[in-house]
Structure 1
């Protein structure tokens, strides 16, 4: 049952609520904190006194407050949901606490079907797919390392609902752009994720493995299949996007690890269903053949988590 939470008062300062205090979520809310916003961390397993983000030789820290239960959340200006897609059901109560009309919820998750997952628990909220381009790794509770890749860190929909958030994130030091055609943006990012995440996770190697000729050939075939599915889904993709994605992968520091590789090394459940699984489901809707993506899906689904 969906529950609507009506705030009794507005916060005295803009407040961002973080659901999912992993590497990516920490970097995003740290930018809000740098812009002068309060940060509220929702239900962290291991509470921490502050967020610390390392970038190069510099580490910046910001205070946070923790909320133990959804009923204690109260009003917030915007929320960031940065749990893995397959973990969404586990934070359902927190999402229900965000079920307010036009409540901006930045969905910093890989893959597809972002808004559909949120709508299951918070249909009144304004889910905003948030495409992440930076690389981040969680070092300890509340502590993350940031590696920037390319010229953009985040892309958000061109919507008045998130204007205040875009301004704050930019003020906080993240390179944020907006796009009217988020379908194409999401599928363009999916091109890199569709290849880099499975291939690094299955090989057990960081992103430098993507520079090997054989891996590049596999990545190109995976992406070519994704372009066809994306076009059927309304994305303005061409073969040029494949070459751009492959070139972008060559700019990533070779020691960087994809989120899926990090999860496999830690023995956690892999986030393959929102990426490769969603691609295969979309292909089936349009009767398209995606043999390599289907093969990747069968291999990834055979990997079992060693952690509960």
Structure 2
């Protein structure tokens, strides 16, 4: 079984480490030769939650993805449009697994010719320390849903399933993506504006008030989600990933464009179609967009 992972960021490296740990042949497609060389020469290191470190062997390359038993796309949404042409050249029988935040990629990916397409919602915490080291920062489920094709083509994911890295198979891909988008809406914009780690959203009383107001507005717009995400579940996630720097905050600190459109923008549009306003989220959206346009990062 050979797996190719497009993307050498935190999520791609963490998933690669758990696959390689099970003796799966893993190739990581990186953008930079320097990262590829670092992974090829030193292997991939994973710092575990218990403080231990493992080193696994992977192959890394900047060459375009080729035929594989499974191709995992672990880049940000903003990079997907440059990757789609490469995926179209693959055999229609090569299964594709998408690991992006947001909803925008869902319909786009289904336009590809591949017969087997799945989507993941990653709820674990990961931090890229350097080109060949990733830290596992929070236990969370890797939810997978097969949107098209045979679930058996993605059975290798079950090899990763363990106490510290649970993997589940769900029935509705669009639903798990929307659930993750809501979780991101609770955490990402607030941490990006306040410049705090996830845990401070519940440990700081004023941040907790903002989180609660945001939660109430989102549940008013999407009341059917309240059974899935009671406020205690949102608090639990913040505590579970307390030391995590959210992806939106990391982008802001690095001066990169955030995923505000595919995460927050998508939710605002979905709520707007239902005739609901989410004023707190709209304010956070406007603030982040204004900061991006001004070039402010720290």
Q: Does the TM-score normalized on the shorter chain lie above 0.5?
A: yes
2:19 to 29, 32, 35: 32
From 281, 286, 295, the equivalent of 2:274 is 286
Change (3 A) 1:230 1:19: farther
1:194 alignment partner, one of 175, 182, 185: 185
Q: Does 1:77 align with 2:69?
A: yes
Matched, 1:51 2:44: yes
Aligned with residue 131 of structure 1, among 99, 102, 121: 121
Structure 1's 227 and 101: CA in aligned 2 closer, same or farther, altered over 3 A? farther
Aligned residue for 1:203?
A: 194
In the alignment, the residues of structure 2 paired with residue 279 and residue 157 of structure 1 have an alpha-carbon distance, to the nearest angstrom, of 20
Alpha-carbon contact 1:53-1:145 (below 8 Å) kept: yes
The offset of 1:173, in angstroms, is 6.5
List alignment gaps of at least 5 residues for structure 2: none
TM-score normalised by L of structure 2: 0.84
Number of equivalent positions: 284
* Alignment partner, residue 262 of structure 2: 274
Q: What is the Cα-based RMSD across aligned positions, in Å?
A: 2.6
Distance 2:156 2:220 in 1: 33
CA distance in 2, matches of 1:191, 1:176: 20
Q: 1:223 aligns with which of 183, 203, 215?
A: 215
Q: Is 2:118–2:173's contact at 8 Å kept on the other side of the alignment?
A: no
1:66 is aligned to 60
CA distance in 2, matches of 1:74, 1:35: 22
Give the secondary-structure state (helix, strand or coil) at the position aligned to 1:195: helix
Alignment of 1:1-308 (within 5 A): 14-45=1-32, 46-47=35-36, 48=38, 49=40, 50-55=43-48, 56-70=50-64, 73-98=65-90, 100-101=91-92, 103-119=94-110, 122-149=112-139, 152-157=140-145, 160-170=151-161, 174-211=165-202, 212-230=204-222, 236-238=224-226, 241-304=229-292
Q: Is the 8 A contact 1:115 1:127 kept in 2?
A: no
Mapped partners of 1:247, 1:171: distance in 2: 24
Residues 75 and 31 of structure 1: CA distance in aligned 2, closer, same or farther (over 3 Å): same
Runs of 4+ in structure 1 displaced over 6 angstroms? none
Match of 1:6 in 2: none
